[in-house]
Structure 1
């Protein structure tokens, strides 16, 4: 494992072997226009964050990027914004990634996840959701997502 500088104040990065892993929190609708979020609208804040990340993530030879992106990537958008979703989807395309979790459910019935793990588009990946409840109580407003990749 190799230490490397984080690509954004709301992201963490590590290199294991030849693969770089990045976990990012992207702006949510209620976040204010304060560092590290710049822009007036939610879509602006997301675009600016994703643009900052793209500058740094493009340098990775092999990249896995995930985190709390605060956007469903398909279907109706309840948590993020259409402009923000467009920025995220555009970044995935630019990086040659696909979200293995895009079609998984959210903890709230009827919604799709806003937490994602994206892997190189050519890899076969199977994602699953782990409900994080204990004795009927939620441990978080987020579930856990596991992605298995066939190399």
Structure 2
């Protein structure tokens, strides 16, 4: 199963010129499962699950997180009672008769308050409150022994140098992956800016075998298609 995550920047429509270029590049990767962030909800009708409307522009067709897949997909209902829900989409996919729980997240960044209502004050407090909610939702939705794939724009490096996140955030995010029994595939990979490690992550259950992890910087006419790199990995479910 080829998986990937990419922040598409500003929720483009596939009908826009940049959106068409993004869609063309995504097709070149032949991924079975994309965890896309800053995504238009109609990016790929029938093969997409998306997070709830964003609190600061709820009437706009924009979402923080989306799961796009060629695999059989069942979207899991959102829990609208927590402000962290707008940054999360959960779904279950079927791979060779095995269900896999998939989560795509966007976590708070410095100065996100005007764009994400209902969060506490302070960068780390905001980050921690949403992360805790996402971990709780993944834990509650997971079937016993079910493999998990979690990706998205976490807005937090896992190791220094830190450009976007905090030291406390790095410790807490690593602990969250460990708590869920996940191996992080993107730790130590580069951010698009070339000055820090990735703040976008792919993490999979330790029972999933990883064959290849790659960093991509898609461009058109020598211009980056997004302000984030894209990350892909090939993973295998061990035979049981």
Tell me if both proteins adopt one fold, taking TM over 0.5 as the criterion: yes
User: Aligned pair 1:143/2:220, yes or no?
Assistant: no
What is the DSSP-based 3-state SS (H/G/I as helix, E as strand, rest coil) of the residue aligned with 1:92?
A: helix
1:33·1:40 contact (CA, 8 Å) conserved in 2? no
Question: Offset of 1:36 from its aligned partner?
Answer: 5.0
Distance in 1 between residues matched to 2:182 and 2:220, nearest whole Å? 33
Structure 2 residue aligned with 1:55 = 136
User: Aligned pair 1:2/2:74, yes or no?
Assistant: yes
Distance 1:37 1:66, change over 3 A: farther
User: Aligned pair 1:22/2:108, yes or no?
Assistant: no
Q: Which has the larger radius of gyration?
A: 2
What is the DSSP-based 3-state SS (H/G/I as helix, E as strand, rest coil) of the residue aligned with 1:20?
A: strand
Cα deviation, 1:11-63, whole Å, max 9, x if unaligned, reads: 11221021111110000112117745522211111111111112111131221
Distance 1:36 1:54, change over 3 A: farther
Cα deviation, 1:54-112, whole Å, max 9, x if unaligned, reads: 21111312211110001111122110111222221111011001210112111112321
Between 119-128 and 65-74, report the one with greater CA deviation: 119-128
Between 102-111 and 22-31, report the one with greater CA deviation: 102-111
* Alignment gaps of 5+ in structure 2: 1-72, 80-84
Give structure 1 regions of 4+ aligned residues with deviation exceeding 6 angstroms. Answer: none
Distance in 1 between residues matched to 2:230 and 2:186, nearest whole Å? 11
2:106·2:153 contact (CA, 8 Å) conserved in 1? yes
User: Aligned pair 1:92/2:177, yes or no?
Assistant: yes
Distance 1:2 1:77, change over 3 A: same
Identify which of 182, 199, 206 aligns with 1:114. Answer: 199
* Alignment gaps of 5+ in structure 1: none
1:43·1:82 contact (CA, 8 Å) conserved in 2? no
TM-score normalised to structure 2 length? 0.59
TM-score normalised to structure 1 length? 0.91
